[in-house]
Structure 1
Amino acid sequence: MFWKIARYALSLGLALAILSCSEYQKVLKETDIAKKYEFAERLYGEGDYKRANRLLEQVAPQFVGKPQGERVQFFLADSYFKIGDYNFAGYQFERFLKSYPKSDKAAEASFLGAKSYYMLSPRYSLDQTDTDKALTKLQLFINSYPESEFQQEANAMAQELTTKKEKKAFEIARQFVKLGEYFILDYNLSAIAALDNFISDHPGSVFREEAYFLKFKAATNLAINSTFQKKKERLDAALAAYNNLLRNFPETSFSDEAEKLMSTLQKEIDAYKELEILAK
């Protein structure tokens, strides 16, 4: 009995799917725009966004300047978002906002347009053009619609993208530090400059503590391997980097490594002082 019911349900489902597909193909060729839009809205309401999108693309130009135009344009943009075509979704939401800036859907369109670019944002190591655009759109939404129900999600996305951009800048600096272990002069100087810029440009970054530690590490490596003429200046700079780390992060999680480096640095300072005395 169970299998008979299952087969019947499957047959009914297939029949309905074939009927729906046949009806859709018929509507695609329909010249009556109102019928096309009515069917597109029905598909949209049923969650069949791909087929709804195709019909909405056909009818949207016919509704420009008409009372239904606002509704059609929003459904078109949202159907692109729902099927994961975020490039077109972002573009269509921008068009919607330009055409209907006072719409009741303006806040949602602004948010979904920004979210479209958020969805396009690549991993941190790649070009961040879409990330920059998403951040600009998210900030515009946050500033324009402070009471929106989407504020919390928008702020979370903006923070995630900000951290991604910080990570890209931080990883470049960290790579210089690694290279500085083998190519002492050039890469340690580059690492120190990059870390200084990072610390200055990202005062609230989650990578800030490690940036201070890595600057101390690069400065110590540079100082230890410097010529006598430049050694004092660089030893002083390394010591200053250590003090900056502790001043900003007294309970730093890098304390063990920092203390080992400081021990090495102190030996170099003491050795330099002895050489300085002998040189007099």
Structure 2
Amino acid sequence: MEKKTTILPVFTFLLLSILLLNSCKSEFEQIRTGGDVKKIYSKATDYFTQEEWQKAQTLLEMIIPNVRGTKEAEDVFFKYAYTFYNLQSYTSASYHFKTFANTYGASPLREEAEFMSAYAQYQESPTFRLDQGATGQAIEEFEFFVNTYPDSKRVGECNKLIDKLRLKLETKAFEEGKLYFHLRYYQSAVRSFENLLKDFPETKNAEQVRLMILRSYYDLALNSILDKREERFKECRRLAAEFLERYPKSEDLREVQNIQDNSNKQLKLLTNVRYQNQSAGSGS
């Protein structure tokens, strides 16, 4: 009898401990570990509405395998994608929105998913000084959206965002050209600025870009070997004349005219040197 009275209090203590631990579990933990799909879905929706994104994402992720092929699946996948966006996991958000759009092609939520896939990429676009892979991807996705939904009320917003992203790419190209110029890589600077005009023909900075091309080409000519100077100074003269014709009221007219005058002087010097060399050669 003494052994039984010893065991009973121990058993009671363990039972009370288990009950106490269960009562201490948060509602989230009880739902998460309960295994009831309907309850998990309901609570996940509550958390989503309350903007508790991490809890909502955790619960939604748990039931994805269980809801495939059901009427709840669209809602679960769509909310799941949004939790990534609201947690600022933009690359994952873009992926899940795109997956949703591809999976549920007939869904009324597809248009929003396509837009959000692009917009999440837009959020990933970094400062112009960094790699612009995400910027290019966002532009492609916005263009895809505009082409796919030409009557969407979001088309105007997409076009504004595309312009903003393209301006970032243009700024990067311009700064790269300036960097080449300051490093005295003049040929690379010329190529960079010329490509900028090709890639962004509507740029508002065309005058400044053409001025940088002229500056780069002039410094290239000055630092060229003798055999290449004549060709390059002639190109400087042509670029200067073209600039003066395009921008007759430019604030940089004096600089451009000086480059033009100096290029003509250099060409005269080269002509004189060639004439003197020819004369010396014929007299020997």
TM-score by length of 1: 0.81
Q: 1:68 to 1:178 in 2, by over 3 A?
A: same
Residue 108 of structure 1 pairs with residue 112 of structure 2: yes
Alignment partner of 2:67 out of 63, 68, 71 = 63
In terms of mean alpha carbon deviation, does 117-126 or 210-219 score higher? 117-126
> 1:60 is aligned with what amino acid?
I
Give the Cα–Cα distance (whole angstroms) in 2 for the partners of residues 96 and 190 of structure 1.
44
Cα deviation 1:223-248 (Å, max 9, x = unaligned):
23444443322111001111232344
CA contact (8 A) 1:124 1:165 kept: yes
Residue in 1 aligned with 2:229? 231
Amino acid at match of 1:42: D
Residues 1:214 and 2:218 are matched in the alignment: no
The code of the aligned residue for 1:50 comes to Q
Aligned to 1:73, which of 77, 93, 114?
Answer: 77
Distance 1:260 1:108, change over 3 A: same
8 Å CA contact retained: 1:224, 1:265: no
2-structure distance, mates of 1:125, 1:90: 23
Tell me, what secondary structure is at the counterpart of 1:24? helix
Shift of 1:275: 4.7
Choose from 160, 164, 170 the match for 2:164: 160
Report the equivalent of 1:3: none
Superposed CA deviations along residues 109-135 of structure 1, whole A, max 9, x for unmatched, are 111111111111222222222222211
Q: How far off is 1:90 after superposition?
A: 0.9
With 199-208 and 82-91 compared, the bigger mean Cα shift is at 199-208
Q: Please report how far the alpha carbon of residue 60 of structure 1 lies from its aligned counterpart in structure 2 after TM superposition.
A: 2.1
Say whether 1:91 aligns with 2:89.
Answer: no
CA contact (8 A) 1:212 1:244 kept: no
Tell me the percent identity.
Answer: 27
> 110-119 or 205-214, which moves further after superposition?
205-214
**1:34 is matched with which residue?**
38
The offset of 1:38, in angstroms, is 0.9
Larger Rg: 2
Contact kept in structure 2, 1:93 and 1:109, CA below 8 Å: yes
> Is there any run of 5+ residues in structure 1 with no aligned partner, and where?
1-18, 181-186
More displaced stretch, 58-67 vs 106-115: 58-67
- In structure 1, give the amino acid aligned to 2:122: Y
Range 118-127 or range 211-220, more displaced: 118-127
Whether 2:196 is the aligned partner of 1:198: answer yes
Structure 2: 5+ residue stretches without partners = 1-22, 280-284
Range with bigger deviation, 154-163 or 165-174: 165-174
Q: Is the 8 A contact 2:241 2:260 kept in 1?
A: no
Conserved 8 A contact 1:117-1:134: yes
The alpha-carbon distance between structure 1 residues 74 and 246, as it changes in their structure 2 partners (threshold 3 A), is: farther
252, 255, 265: which one aligns with 2:253: 255
Residue 182 (structure 2) aligns with: 178
Q: Which structure has more RCO (C-alpha within 8 Å, separation ≥ 6)?
A: 1
- Report if the CA contact (8 A) 1:170-1:207 is conserved: no
The count of corresponding residues between Structure 1 and Structure 2 is 255
1:117–1:131 Cα contact (<8 Å) kept: yes
2:213 counterpart letter in structure 1: K
Structure 1 runs of 4+ aligned residues shifted over 6 Å read none
Is the contact made by 2:218 and 2:259 (CA closer than 8 Å) also made in structure 1? yes
